[in-house]
Structure 1
């Protein structure tokens, strides 16, 4: 497993490195003190599994960096970290396609838990003030989904892969992919992360059901 940590403070990078070692024994952590260096490392290491990105960097803010990563590495999941809590920034970061937003004041266990979720293909939606959620929900009407599409969406919200969804709903993986594509079009988005975010805004939520074991999902 290879993870890129982007932060302009060496002590923060070292602290994150130590925490991330709790994921597994062979985790490799790359470090960058600027976005320019981060983009360079990402080009040199196409096998990257995840990026932890500080929102406030000397050469570029998190939103701009997310745009660059989206163009150059669209499948690479990104967790954005910030030292401050700004609900509007949290909203914008998730709309840009981040897989999670965490504050640096959080606990190590939370970082590890969210990191595992994101590495498994899930999305961690930060809790936004209800008034802001209401404003977002009013921006566009909820799309109309078929009952089967709603079943697939529910399992996506729970973090299941296409293969796992197919097994649970007795569908071929190709059929699941077609349903996922239809869901993305319905929400007017291009990635699963954006679809999950859009679904959250319209009142859809994960069930909290337990994930399949490695043996079950094989």
Structure 2
């Protein structure tokens, strides 16, 4: 860790937290990721080697603990780490209010679909197994098609056809769905201007926006 050579508590905290990716790893742990592969899906552009290094640093600092369960490493936040929840929430709210512009490099279908699947309101989905297909018009190749499956209250995101009957298909571009998820625009606006099209029976079309919802950041007030 880099030392700022200051007694200031902010400086001391940032000696640990301002290393690249560190606060995002903490964010993933706060959101419930416990295994290495789940953490990787939340930071898909971070190398496995660097993730391993950051986890070791956080463990040495007493922010996380690592245990072995069934031969797999399980990472959990300590009380010290849980206190960072308020820090991450504050950064998220500040970022959505004041650093709102998204460049093309910020758009990532893997991260978007992973975040949607773990945060969407499962209680609004049907009690039966339900499947939504997502097609990104502007994403070339395999990453342009995704499936969300909810069965018995358990969500799953797939980058391959799971082979189940499809309830509906959401056709859009990556930027639009990202902006809807963040709360930059709402579902009604995107559907009205046809930047999102839902191909499904009428009763399903009406329900899909409630099935997906928006991220917590959508509730953050924005400057006029």
Per the shorter chain, which TM-score range?
A: under 0.3
Structure with larger Rg:
2
Give the TM-score normalised by structure 2. Answer: 0.24
Give the TM-score normalised by structure 1. Answer: 0.24
More strand by share: 2
